[in-house]
Amino acid sequence: MVADGTRIRLKFRLVKRQHKEAPQSVVRETSEPVSELTTNRLSVYLRCLNLLDASGVRTVSSQALAEQFHLNAAQIRKDLAYFGEFGVRGVGYYVKELRRHLRQILGIDRGVSVVIMGAGNLGLALADYPGFRDEGFEIVAMFDTARDKVGHRSRAGVPIYDGRDLRKIVRQERIRIAVIAVPAAAAQSVVNTVVSSGIKAILNFSPGAIKVPDGVKLKSMDLTVSLESLSFFLAQGEDGT
Amino acid sequence: MVADGTRIRLKFRLVKRQHKEAPQSVVRETSEPVSELTTNRLSVYLRCLNLLDASGVRTVSSQALAEQFHLNAAQIRKDLAYFGEFGVRGVGYYVKELRRHLRQILGIDRGVSVVIMGAGNLGLALADYPGFRDEGFEIVAMFDTARDKVGHRSRAGVPIYDGRDLRKIVRQERIRIAVIAVPAAAAQSVVNTVVSSGIKAILNFSPGAIKVPDGVKLKSMDLTVSLESLSFFLAQGEDGT
DNA sequence: TTTTGTGAACTAGTTCACAGCT
DNA sequence: AGCTGTGAACTAGTTCACAAAA
pLDDT of residue A23 exceeding 60 = no
**Coil, strand or helix at A113:** strand
Nearest residue to nucleotide C7, by CA–C1' distance, is A78
With an 8 Å Cβ cutoff, is A166 touching chain B? no
Of A212, A220, A172, A173, the C-alpha closest to A196 is A212
Rg value, chain A, Cα: 21
Alpha helices (runs of H) in chain A, residue ranges in sequence order: 36-54, 62-69, 73-81, 95-105, 121-127, 130-134, 166-173, 184-196, 223-238
pLDDT of residue A203 exceeding 80 = yes
Contact criterion met (CB < 8 Å) for A227 and B137: yes
What percent of chain B stands above pLDDT 70? 85
What is the average pLDDT score of chain A? Answer: 88
For range B117-139, the mean pLDDT: 96
Gap from A90 CA to C1 C1', Å:
8
pLDDT of residue B52 exceeding 80 = yes
Of all nucleotides in the shown strands, which has a C1' nearest the CA of A72? D15
Q: Strands across the sheet with A112-117, in order?
A: A160-162, A137-144, A112-117, A177-180, A201-204, A217-220
pLDDT of residue B8 exceeding 50 = no
Q: Return the pLDDT at A33.
A: 76
pLDDT band at residue B21, thresholds of 50, 70 and 90?
very low
Write the pLDDT tens digit of every residue in A25-75.
333 434 567 999 999 999 999 999 999 999 999 999 999 999 999 999 999
Of all nucleotides in the shown strands, which has a C1' nearest the CA of A26? C5
Q: Return the pLDDT at A51.
A: 96
Q: What is the largest CA-CA distance in chain A?
A: 64
pLDDT band at residue B16, thresholds of 50, 70 and 90?
very low
Distance from CA of A89 to the nearest CA of B (A): 24
Q: Are B123 and B190 in contact (CB under 8 A)?
A: no
Any strand D atom closer than 7 Å to B87 CB: yes
Gap from B71 CA to D5 C1', Å:
18
Rg value, chain B, Cα: 21
Q: Return the pLDDT at B208.
A: 87
Return positions of chain C under 7 A from a protein CB. Answer: 1-7, 12-17, 20-22
pLDDT of residue A184 exceeding 90 = yes
Contact criterion met (CB < 8 Å) for B39 and A176: no
In order of B66, B144, B155, the CA distances from B180 in angstroms are 34, 11, 19
A174/B112 Cα distance (integer angstroms): 43
For range B161-176, the mean pLDDT: 98
Q: Are A187 and A210 in contact (CB under 8 A)?
A: yes
**Contacts with B, A 175-194, CB within 8 Å:** 176-177, 183-184
Quickly count: other Cβ atoms within 10 Å of residue B164's Cβ: 11
A159/A137 Cα distance (integer angstroms): 16
A178/A201 Cα distance (integer angstroms): 7
Query: Kind and range of the H or E element at B201?
Result: strand B201-204
Nearest residue to nucleotide D2, by CA–C1' distance, is B90
What percent of chain B stands above pLDDT 90? 83
pLDDT of residue B119 exceeding 60 = yes
pLDDT band at residue A239, thresholds of 50, 70 and 90?
low
Q: Are B99 and B50 in contact (CB under 8 A)?
A: yes
Alpha helices (runs of H) in chain B, residue ranges in sequence order: 36-54, 62-69, 73-81, 95-105, 121-127, 130-134, 166-173, 184-196, 223-238
For range B206-223, the mean pLDDT: 94
Q: Return the pLDDT at B10.
A: 43
Write the pLDDT tens digit of every residue in A136-153.
999 999 999 999 999 999
Any strand D atom closer than 7 Å to A78 CB: yes
Write the pLDDT tens digit of every residue in B57-113.
999 999 999 999 999 999 999 999 999 999 999 999 999 999 999 999 999 999 999
Distance from CA of A19 to the nearest CA of B (A): 26
Distance from CA of B51 to the nearest CA of A (A): 10
pLDDT band at residue A4, thresholds of 50, 70 and 90?
very low
How many residue pairs bridge chain A and chain B with CB atoms within 8 Å of each other?
Answer: 238
pTM of the model: 0.89
Contact criterion met (CB < 8 Å) for B223 and A131: yes
Q: Return the pLDDT at A237.
A: 81
Gap from A61 CA to C15 C1', Å:
39
pLDDT band at residue B239, thresholds of 50, 70 and 90?
low
